[in-house]
Structure 1
Amino acid sequence: MAEKKGPGPSVKDDETYEALRREGASKEKAARIANASAKEGSDTVGRRGGKAGSYEDWTVEDLRKRAAELDVEGRSSMKKDELVKALRDR
């Protein structure tokens, strides 16, 4: 039977990382938050975060502009929910 693989040695707070992944955060975002939480404490990180609006509140035009900045392939033909998912998976 295969052994369960963790997030890797670069992630300093495995529990936070796994919780964020279960909530749908990308691997990169989960690792960044987990490491900041381990270094500075979750209270400090929590107070600092959350200033950006939800992608659901953005217009399709704004989502496409952001997708272009991130070079998301197929963005011009994506619907709003597809753009949101593509941006969150980055």
Structure 2
Amino acid sequence: MAKRSSNANDNSSLKDPELYEELRDQGYSKEKSARISNAKANPDMHPSKRGGKAPPYEEWTKDELYARAKEIGVEGRSDMTKDDLIAALRGG
């Protein structure tokens, strides 16, 4: 695991600094890594369970998928097909 200049151990608001660092190494933003690691550390929250009422990606247009991919920073999205975008958004 690579060390960062702003080490997770320096941030006492993190509930699971180890998970935070793993997520950062996977390319997640600081904010998203902190939200996920804190949610998973809270026994009352279930971040891996299905959330809102958004339709499945297969029902989205390619433009909508592209916009979502851009929003979360998927690299190479401009060359992707609709199926590629769906796979990338699902982390595959």
Q: TM-score, normalised by structure 1?
A: 0.48
Q: Which has the higher helix share?
A: 1
